[in-house]
Structure 1
Amino acid sequence: MRLTRPMLAVAGAAGVLALAGCGTGNSDAAAKVPTAATGSLESLAAKVKCKPDMQIDSDEVRQAICKTTAGKFVLVTFSTDRGQREWINDAKDYGGFYLVGRKWVTVGEDKVVKSLQHTLGGDEEIGTNHSAHSSHSG
């Protein structure tokens, strides 16, 4: 395991250089992701031009289904960072693609999440892939 730490440090340094515009090639891709958006569920939905269909509206969690030209996705906002992380950790057990910002998450197909990232910013996280666990008779 000790051999991987220096490699991680080099990869991290390369990432910082690319984000700072000192790298070549990848700096254009990094520049296209804006700073993560903040705000209410309604303001985030407005940024991506969707009318949210509310599913859950509580003090801790607000969840809506949205549809844009990119596709259909779920938009969730949270009252606390801890609540958000717990929700993501549980949800990722079911697979899927997640775009994560400060106190909000979108869930949808990979192409939809990547499309939303150009407007909302945030970091993509990927849920557990259970396809390797399926049994095949043969």
Structure 2
Amino acid sequence: MSQQQPPVRSTRRSPSRVPRPGALAAAGAMVVLPLVTACGGEKDAGGGKAAPSVTAAPAAGVVAPAKVEVIAGLTGCKAKIRIDADELRQGLCRTKKADYLITTFPEEKFKETWLEEARVYGGKYLVGPRWVVSVKPALLESFRAKLGGTVRELRGIGPKPGE
């Protein structure tokens, strides 16, 4: 009875090849390109583009990024950071027109949890990707024009005033 020997592996190493910088850039572009083109929006059943879930700011043509300081600058204030935690950052803006809160989140799921908890209080909020602005309702549309996002009304619990 013959036994088969396991294949012999060579211990000889091939020379290391260090990729050229141009090759790295090309490889990086190949990774990023599908991600960028995938963000072009969804198609509706008729083949046209579906309405985005977050509208762009008409004045800026973009939606504000999820950073308290950037959003504050776009609204004309310098925020004082009140909360700087793993789940959220919150800054207070004080202007002649109003005091308002800007809350940002590292992930969308934290924003949705925050909104679910805020539902108890009710009210209207300007909501964007990973951020929420709490400002008096009369200013929501002017803020939306600067920041983008959508106005979301949350129903409070309990009787409404005047009921």
TM range (shorter): 0.5 to 0.7
Paired residues for 1:30-109 under 5 Å: 32=58, 34-109=61-136
- Cα RMSD of the aligned pairs, angstroms, is 3.0
Query: What is residue 9 of structure 1 aligned with on the other side?
Result: none
Report % sequence identity. 29
| Larger-gyration structure (1/2) | 2
Q: Which structure shows the bigger proportion of residues in helix conformation?
A: 1
Q: Which structure shows the bigger proportion of residues in strand conformation?
A: 1
TM-score with structure 1 length normalisation?
0.67
Instruction: Give the 3-state SS of the residue equivalent to 1:38 in structure 2.
Output: coil
For 1:77-131, what per-residue CA distance to the aligned partner results, in whole angstroms no more than 9, with x for missing partners?
A: 0011000011011102201210001100001211122221110010000121557
Cα 1:112/1:135, change in 2 over 3 Å? closer
Specify every segment of 5 or more residues in structure 1 that has no aligned partner in the other structure, as ranges: 1-15, 20-29
Specify every segment of 5 or more residues in structure 2 that has no aligned partner in the other structure, as ranges: 1-47
**Cα shift at 1:68:** 3.3
Cα 1:119/1:133, change in 2 over 3 Å? closer
TM-score with structure 2 length normalisation?
0.58
Aligned residues: 112
Q: Does 1:125 align with 2:152?
A: yes
Instruction: Give the 3-state SS of the residue equivalent to 1:93 in structure 2.
Output: coil
